């Protein structure tokens, strides 16, 4: 792991959750990511997985720290394995039009019911 400090935005809700300043129902964590239950679940399993570092969306995360993006995906798979037999949908919203409401990269782990297609 790099000795450089991780990017952080003190005004960002998810940065504050990662820092422990705001409580969350954390279900898993590791060096690169944190997973916690969504406050407005859209499925029986709805967990958000965020990188510990602040990147506004998945594109900037992929360019800025691809290893952290892999860490987010790895933690999402662990959550799904622990809570839903490994079956899940993993969704990233990127930008306002895509319905991103918190501008800290995060993936939604959804499961526990049949998923429809196409989504949205």
How do residues 48-101 score in pLDDT, each as one tens digit?
Answer: 999 999 999 999 999 999 999 999 999 999 999 999 999 999 999 999 999 999
The rounded mean pLDDT for the chain is 94
Output the CA angle 20-25-30, nearest 5 degrees. Answer: 65
The residue behind tokens 């895509």 is: 98
Q: Is residue 97 included in any domain, yes or no?
A: yes
Q: Is residue 16 included in any domain, yes or no?
A: no
Q: Of 54, 63, 99, 106, which residue is the catalytic one?
A: 106
How many domains would you assign to the chain?
1
11: its two tokens: 């005004």
Q: Provide the residue range defining the domain that includes 58.
A: 31-111
- For residue 95, the domain's CATH number is 3.30.428.10
Q: Does the model's pTM come out above 0.75?
A: yes
Q: Is residue 96 included in any domain, yes or no?
A: yes
Q: Is residue 44 included in any domain, yes or no?
A: yes
Confidence of residue 118 (pLDDT cuts 50, 70, 90): confident
Q: Is residue 8 included in any domain, yes or no?
A: no
**Contacts of residue 26, Cβ cutoff 8 Å, sequence gap at least 6:** 34, 35, 36
Annotated active-site residue 104? The verdict is no
User: Edge to edge, what strands does the sheet with 45-51 contain?
Assistant: 26-29, 33-37, 45-51, 107-111, 89-92
Q: Is residue 12 included in any domain, yes or no?
A: no
Confidence of residue 7 (pLDDT cuts 50, 70, 90): confident
How do residues 10-49 score in pLDDT, each as one tens digit?
Answer: 999 999 999 999 999 999 999 999 999 999 999 999 999 9
Q: Is residue 83 included in any domain, yes or no?
A: yes
Cα–Cα distances in Å, from 2 out to 32, 38, 65, 69, 103? 11, 30, 11, 15, 24
- As to burial, measured by CB atoms within 10 angstroms (0-12 exposed, 13-18 middle, 19+ buried), residue 105 is buried
């Amino acid at each position: 792991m790099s000795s450089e400090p991780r990017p952080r935005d003190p005004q960002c809700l998810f940065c504050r959750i990662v820092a422990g300043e705001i409580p969350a129902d954390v279900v898993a964590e590791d060096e690169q990511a944190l997973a916690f239950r969504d406050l407005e679940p859209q499925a029986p399993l709805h967990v958000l997985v965020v990188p510990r570092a602040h990147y506004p969306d998945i594109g900037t995360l992929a360019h800025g720290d691809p290893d952290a993006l892999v860490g987010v995906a790895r933690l999402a798979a662990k959550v799904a394995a622990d809570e839903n037999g490994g079956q899940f949908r993993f969704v990233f919203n990127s930008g306002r039009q895509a319905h991103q409401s918190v501008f800290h990269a995060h993936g939604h782990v959804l499961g526990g019911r049949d998923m429809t297609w196409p989504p949205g």
